Each structure stands twice: as C-alpha cells, then as structure tokens.
Amino acid sequence: MKNIPFSFDLRLDEEFLESMYEGDVEHASEIFSLFIDMAPGLVKDIDESFAHGAVEPLRSKVHKLKPTFSFVGLTTLTKNAEELEEKCKGTSDISDIKDLYNELKNNYSQSFPIIEKELERLKNQINQGV
C-alpha cells in the first residue's frame, strides 16, 4: 500500500473517498480504472432495459451500479440510483421512471470525464511518488 498525499477533485465527495481509501492512492487508482472499464457497459445495459420497457431488469442493473458510483466519489449518483431503484419497485410502467432515469443519465454523462481525469491525476501522483 502506498500512502501518497492526494487531494481529490472537489466535484467528488472527498470526505467519503478519504474514508474509503485512507490515502491508499494505488487502490484508488485501481478502482477508478475498474470503474472506467465497467461503468459504460453497465450503463449501456440499463439503456437497453429502458428501451425495451423492462423495469425489473433495469432495477436490478441500477442496484448493481448504485454502490459503484460511490467508490469513485459520485455519491450524488448513488442517491439518484437509489431513488430510481425505489421508483422501479412500485411500477411496471417505464414512463413512470423516465425522469429519474434521465437525471441519472445526465449526471453520469457529466461525471464520467471527471473520473477519467482523476484517474490520470492518480496515476501521475503514483509515478511521482516512486
């Protein structure tokens, strides 16, 4: 484990990230990298479920993605996902969840580039700390 001083982007939940990684930038880098590899595929699956009007499969996928957002400091997206998951439980009509789905999608699209940049910064920090 490598504890190197690092300040996360202020648009991320820095306090939460610190409680998760406790200065372990290598671990943070691993997780941010995994997120970048995985999240687009999971979001695509959610889009497909939405396009097919399949509420329960969508709920199940959102449930899986929910904690993943927090692992990279996107705690607001975890809350969005929580609300969407709850809404899915009470309906089988896809139009009932449209607004929450769009909110999650928009927030995700805006946040993904931040995570990509943050991964670059983490990698640079590790290289400088060697």
Kindly state whether residue 20 participates in binding another protein, applying the rule CB under 8 A: yes
Question: Within 49-108, which residues bind another protein (CB under 8 A)?
Answer: 60, 63-64, 66-68, 70-71, 78
Q: Which stretch binds another protein (CB under 8 A): 3-11, 25-33, 92-100, 110-118?
A: 25-33
Q: CA 123: distance to chain centroid?
A: 19
Secondary structure in 3-state letters for the chain: CCECCCCCCCCCCHHHHHHHHCCEHHHHHHHHHHHHHHHHHHHHHHHHHHHCCCHHHHHHHHHHHHHHHHHCCCHHHHHHHHHHHHHHHCCCCHHHHHHHHHHHHHHHHHHHHHHHHHHHHHHHHHHHHC
Decide if residue 45 touches another protein (CB under 8 A): no
Which region, judged by CB under 8 A, interacts with another protein, from 2-10, 12-20, 43-51, 115-123?
A: 12-20
Binds another protein (CB under 8 A): choice among 9, 14, 22, 116: 22
Does 48 interact with another protein (rule: CB under 8 A)? Answer: no
What does R_g of the chain's alpha carbons equal in angstroms? 16
Nearest C-alpha neighbor of 94 from the set 41, 56, 128, 66: 56
Q: How far is the CB of 34 from another protein (least distance, A)?
A: 5
Q: Binding to another protein by residue 29, rule CB under 8 A?
A: no
Q: Which residues bind another protein (CB under 8 A)?
A: 1, 16, 19-20, 22, 24, 27, 30-31, 34-35, 38, 60, 63-64, 66-68, 70-71, 78
